Structures are given as structure tokens and as C-alpha cells.
Amino acid sequence: MRKSATVLAALAFALAGASPANAAVDSQCGRYICVMTAHHNRFVQDITVQTRDGNPGVLRAYWGEFRSGRVTAASHRWNVGYEQAGAKLVCGGLERDGRTIEDGICVTI
């Protein structure tokens, strides 16, 4: 658990370094994945979804009208650069072996 917290803190720091000076960096973890985003109000710069166990799976992210492509990886960052006034959540999901392992892990923006 301590290793996971260290890795997540390092990723959040790296994500913050890649974001504009006034962007907020937020994250939310479920049992199997963590979702991180850099945003300014409803303008989302990027979304990162990462497995907590470090094993690859099919990752995806969604936010308002944005639906990412599916990526087979343990961690992936999508450059969004998109604003949607009505969206309040940035979410991610994980599939393995054709089954949904976790979905709907969301960060409030």
C-alpha cells in the first residue's frame, strides 16, 4: 500500500508539472485503478488511468462527450485539451480478459 501511495504521489507530481500553472490536479482510486486529471474549471487538459497492481489491462477514459480509445497498458495518459460546460466527472475503466473489472471510478472537476 505504501508503494502504491508513493507511485501515485510521483505520478500526480509529474502530471502537475505537465499542466498549466493554474490547472488543478485531482485523482480518485478504486480497488483496481486510479484516475488522475489536470483541469481548469471544465477545461480538461489530460486524463491518466493506471492499474493499482501494475498489471496491464484494457484502459479507457470518458468525460462528457469525450470517449477515449481503449488502450492495453498498465498506465496511459490521454491528452484531451477539451472543454465541456455541463460535465462534472472524469471517469475511467478497466477490462481484463473481456470482462469489466472496474468502471465508473470518477474524479469531480
CATH number of 86's domain: 2.60.40
Domain total in the chain: 1
Predicted local confidence at residue 20, as pLDDT: 53
Beta bridge partners of 44: 39, 82
CA 9-109-90 angle, to 5 degrees, is 80
Q: For residue 90, give its domain range.
A: 2-108
User: Residue-wise pLDDT tens for the chain (109 aa)?
Assistant: 444 444 444 444 444 444 455 789 999 999 999 999 999 988 999 999 999 999 999 999 999 999 999 999 999 999 999 999 889 999 999 999 999 999 999 999 9
Predicted local confidence at residue 15, as pLDDT: 46
Predicted local confidence at residue 23, as pLDDT: 83
Helix (H, G, I), strand (E, B) or coil at 19: coil
